[in-house]
Amino acid sequence: MRNWTYRKLAGVLAGALALAGCTQNTVTQAPDPRAEKAATEKAMQRFDEMKFGLFIHWGLYTIPAGEWKGKYVRGIGEWIMFREKIPAAEYAQLATQFNPVKFNGGEWAQLAKDAGMRYMVITSKHHDGFAMYGSKASKYNIVDATPYAKDPMKDLSAACASQGIDFGFYYSQDQDWHEANGRGNNWDFPEKRDAQVYLQGKVFPQVKEILSGYGPLRLIWFDTPGLLSEKQVMDLRNMVKSLQPGCLINSRIGHGKHDYAQTGDNAIPIQVYSKDGKWEVPATLNDTWGYKKNDNNWKNPRDLIGKLSDIVSKGGNYLLNIGPTREGVVPEASQQILRTIGKWLEVNGEAIYGTGPSPFHMRDITWRATVKPNKLYLHILNWPGRKLRLEGLESQVTKAYMLAGKAEVPFQKAGAALEFTLPEKAPDPNVTVIALELADAQPKVADGFRADQMPAKLDLHAWVARMRGEEIQYDWTTQSATGFKSFERETNGLSWYPYKSLDGTYDVEITYACDNAVAGSKFRLTAGQRRDPNPSIIDGVVEKTGGKFVTRKLAGKLTVKPETETIGLQLEGDDKSAPMKVQKITLTKSAS
Ligand code: FHN
C-alpha cells in the first residue's frame, strides 16, 4: 500500500515538474561543432597533464555509514539503500538529520592541493537521487530538505577556483532509486519505467543547473549509463556541450559519446593503454566510496604512490576518492595518506605531471617509466639492491640522478643493457625516481622491448590486479595477495584488466604458497567480459606447498579475446584455502 502511494506521489510530482516547465529546460540542439572541438581539445590537453585528481563521494548514506538498523551491511557504503532495499520514503527521512556543520570547502580544496591533486570531482547526485547542491528541479536536495539548508557546492567550487584546482561534478544520470522512472529501485516501484520522463523531469534540468551555477567545470562525470538510448545520451551530451563546450565528458555517459574513457573501479590496465584515447582510473582509499564507519582498510601510501606511477606510466590519470562524514569531516587517516602522497609529489612531481607514458613493455613490478622531452624517469617500485639493469634503451644516456636530492647515479654499459649502481637500500620508502637525461628528445627503444610488443611469456603480478572484496590484502614482503574469502554475495579475488593488450590462447602457470593444513579448495581462473555467459575457464585445486612459493602449470588453456575485460582468479566451492598467497599468474602463448 505504502509503495503504491509513493509511486503515485512520484508520478504526480514528475507531472508537476513537467507542468512547471522543467521539460522546457531540455537543451538538445547540437553545439557549434568547431567551438566544441577546439574547447574540448584544449581541455583534454590540460586533463592529460594533470594526472592526479580527488574524487569525493558525499551524501545521505554517510548517516547510516555502513550500518542499518543495528546490522553491518557489506559492500560499498553509498549502496546501502539498494542493498537493504530501504523504501525511498524512509531513506528520504535521513535528510532531516543531515547537518554537516563542520564542512569547510576551503579545507577540502586545500587538502586536494596538499595531496598534489590538480582536479576535484564531487557527487552532485548519486544513485540515491539526493542532490547535494541547491536544486530548483527537485526539492530532494541539501538546501530544501536538510537542517543545513545551505549549498556546500557553491563554497567548494569557489574554493577550488581560488586554489587553482579544476572542478567537476559526478552525476548519476540513469540510476536513481528515489524516482519511479529512474533506474534501480524495484522494491518501491514497478520494473517498467519511462526513462524519458525521468530525464526530462530531473536529469536535464539538474545537469543544466550544475553546469550553470558553479563556474567552469573541467568535467562532468556520469556513471552507470544503463539502458539510456543513443538519442537520449546524445541529448545529454549536447546539453553539456552547448552550455560549456570545454567541459569534458567521461565514458560512463554511454554509447561512446565521451571525450575520455574510464577503466572499471580500481581497475588498472596491465600495460600501456592508448587504444581508446585518454583514460582515468577511479579508485578507493579503502573499500568504499561513501563513508563507512567501520572501514579502516586503508591502502598504504607506498601502494598508492606506486599505483600513481603505474597508472601514469601506462598513460592514465588517477582519481582517488575520499568519503567525508555526515558532519563534513574528511577522515583523519585519508588526510594523512593524501598529504604523504603530496609530500612525495612535491619532490617527484616532475616525473608525473605533464609526462608521457612508458616507451617500454612492463615485464615485472620492479620499475615503471614516464617521459618528457630528452628525459626518461624510472620509478622504482621494488628496490633491486645495488644493481639495476635496464634493457632495451637505445638512446644515449648523458646523465643519471636521483630526482630527489639530485645525487648522481653511476651507470655503465653491460652488453646491450645499462647497469646502474644504487645504494643498498631505497632512498625513498615509497617510490624512488631516477631521472635519465637522453641525447634523443624521445627515447629510442630496441625491438622486443617496446610498449606495444607483447613478450612470449607475460607475468600478471598480484600487485597489478584489482583486489576485489573487503578481506583480500596485499603483502609487500612476499609480493603476494592473500585472504580469498567467500561470502554469499561476493567472493574475494584478483582481477586483471588486459584492455586489448592480450589476444590469443595461453598456457598458464600460477605462483603461490599454501600451508598444508588449509590446502584443498578449488580455484577458478576466468577470462571474459562482465557477466559473460561463456567465459574461458581453467579450474584447479590449491595444493600443499608447505608454505613455500611454488610455480605450478595448470591443466587447460585460457583464451583471451580483444573484447575480454577481465582475467579473474578466485576460490570456488569452499574458502578453506583463503590464506593461500598468490604472487602471480604467468601466461605463455600456446603453440597449439
Ligand atoms: O555504483 C557506483 C559506485 O557507487 C561509485 O560511485 C563508483 C565510482 O566509480 N561508480 C559506480 C560503480 O562503478
Q: For 424-449, what is each residue's pLDDT tens digit?
A: 999 999 999 999 999 999 999 999 99
pLDDT recorded at residue 26: 53
Nearest Cα neighbor of 513 from 575, 585, 580 is: 580
Report CA(283)–ligand 1 centroid distance (Å).
Answer: 10
Confidence band (pLDDT; 50, 70, 90) for 512?
very high
Q: Is the CB of 76 under 6 A from ligand 1?
A: yes
Residue of 319, 340, 224 whose CA lies nearest to 267: 319
Q: Is the pLDDT of residue 489 over 50?
A: yes
Residues with Cβ within 8 Å of 533's Cβ and at least 6 positions away in sequence, in order, are none
Q: How far is the CA of 223 from the centre of ligand 1 (A)?
A: 7
* pTM across the whole model: 0.94
State the alpha helices, DSSP H only, in 21-73.
Answer: 33-50
Q: Is 512 touching ligand 1 by the criterion CB < 6 Å?
A: no
226 or 328: which carries more pLDDT confidence? 328
Mean pLDDT of all residues in 133-137: 98
- Give the model's pLDDT for residue 533: 87
Task: Give the whole-number percent of the chain exceeding pLDDT 90.
Answer: 90
How far, in Å, CA of 523 to CA of 517, rounded? 17
**Strand 261-262 versus strand 279-283 pairing type:** parallel
Is the pLDDT at 270 greater than 80? The verdict is: yes
Cα 515 versus chain centre, distance: 34
The verdict on the CB of residue 176 being under 6 Å from ligand 1 is: no
- pLDDT confidence of residue 531: 83
Under the banding of pLDDT at 50, 70 and 90, the label for residue 24 is very low
Q: Which three cell numbers stand for residue 577?
A: 584455502
Query: Rounded mean pLDDT of 108-124?
Result: 98
pLDDT at residue 1 greater than cutoff 90 = no
Ligand 1 atom 10: residue of nearest CA: 223
d(CA 320, CA 304): 9
Residue 12's contacts (CB-CB under 8 Å, 6 or more residues apart) are none
Place of cell 549549498: 151
- Please tell me the least confidently modeled range out of 14-23, 47-56, 129-138: 14-23
Count CB neighbours of 45 within 10 A: 12
What local confidence, expressed as pLDDT, does residue 84 receive? 98
* pLDDT tops 60 at residue 69: yes
Q: What is the pLDDT of residue 527?
A: 97
Tell me, what DSSP letter sits at residue 183?
B
Query: Lowest-pLDDT range, 199-208, 373-382, 386-395, 498-507?
Result: 498-507
pLDDT of residue 27: 53
Give me the DSSP letters along 390-449.
E-SB-SPEEEEEETTT--B--EEEETTEEEEE--SS-SSSS-EEEEEEESSSS--B-TTT
Residue pLDDT, tens place only, 227-259: 899 999 999 999 999 999 999 999 999 999 999
Atom nearest to 321 CA in ligand 1: 8
Region 274-297 average pLDDT: 95
In this predicted structure, the answer to whether residue 10 has a pLDDT above a threshold of 70 is no
Report whether residue 290 contacts ligand 1, using a CB cutoff of 6 Å. no
pLDDT for residue 28: 64
| pLDDT at residue 20 greater than cutoff 60 | no
Ligand 1 centroid to Cα of residue 143, in Å, is 24
The pLDDT of residue 2 is: 38
Determine the pLDDT at residue 42.
Answer: 98
How many angstroms separate the CA atoms of 363 and 453, rounded? 11
Is the pLDDT assigned to residue 560 strictly greater than 60? Answer: yes
Residue 110 parent element (H or E): helix 105-114
User: Rounded mean pLDDT of the chain?
Assistant: 94
Q: Which helix (H) or strand (E) holds 555?
A: strand 550-560
Q: Is the CB of 77 under 6 A from ligand 1?
A: no
CB distance 222 to ligand 1 below 6 Å: no
Q: Residue 17: is its pLDDT beyond 80?
A: no
Which pLDDT score, from 0 to 100, does residue 532 have? 84
Å from CA of 456 to ligand 1 middle: 36
Q: Which of 76, 175, 322 to mutate to test the pocket of ligand 1 (most atoms within 8 A of CB)?
A: 76
Q: Are strands 166-171 and 219-222 parallel, antiparallel or unpaired?
A: parallel
Atom of ligand 1 nearest to the CA of 57: 6
d(CA 170, CA 167): 10
Å from CA of 260 to ligand 1 middle: 17
Amino acid identity, position 525: L
Give the atom of ligand 1 at the shortest distance from the alpha carbon of 175: 1
pLDDT of residue 21 exceeding 70: no
Q: What's the CA gap between 554 and 541, in Å, rounded?
A: 9
**Could you tell me the pLDDT band of residue 8, with boundaries at 50, 70 and 90?**
very low
Tell me the pLDDT tens digit for each residue of 492-506. Answer: 999 999 998 889 999
Q: How far apart are CA 350 and CA 435, in angstroms?
A: 10
Residue 527: half-sphere exposure toward Cβ, Cα within 13 Å: 24
Distance 166 CA to ligand 1 centre (A): 21
Pocket perturbation via mutation, ligand 1, pick of 83, 266, 288, 289 by most ligand atoms within 8 A of CB: 289
C-alpha cell at 156: 567548494
Rounded distance from Cα 501 to ligand 1 centre (Å): 25
User: How many Å apart are CA 325 and CA 585, to the nearest integer?
Assistant: 39
SS3 content of the chain, % helix, strand, coil (to 5): 25, 30, 45
Q: How far is the CA of 334 from the centre of ligand 1 (A)?
A: 19
Is residue 452 scored above 60 in pLDDT?
Answer: yes
Please answer whether residues 328 and 104 qualify as being in contact, where contact means their C-beta atoms are separated by less than 8 angstroms.
yes
| 431 contacts 309 by C-beta, under 8 angstroms | yes
Confidence (pLDDT) at 29: 74
Is any atom of ligand 1 closer than 6 Å to the C-beta of 265? yes
Task: Provide the pairing of β-strand 367-372 with 375-380.
Answer: antiparallel
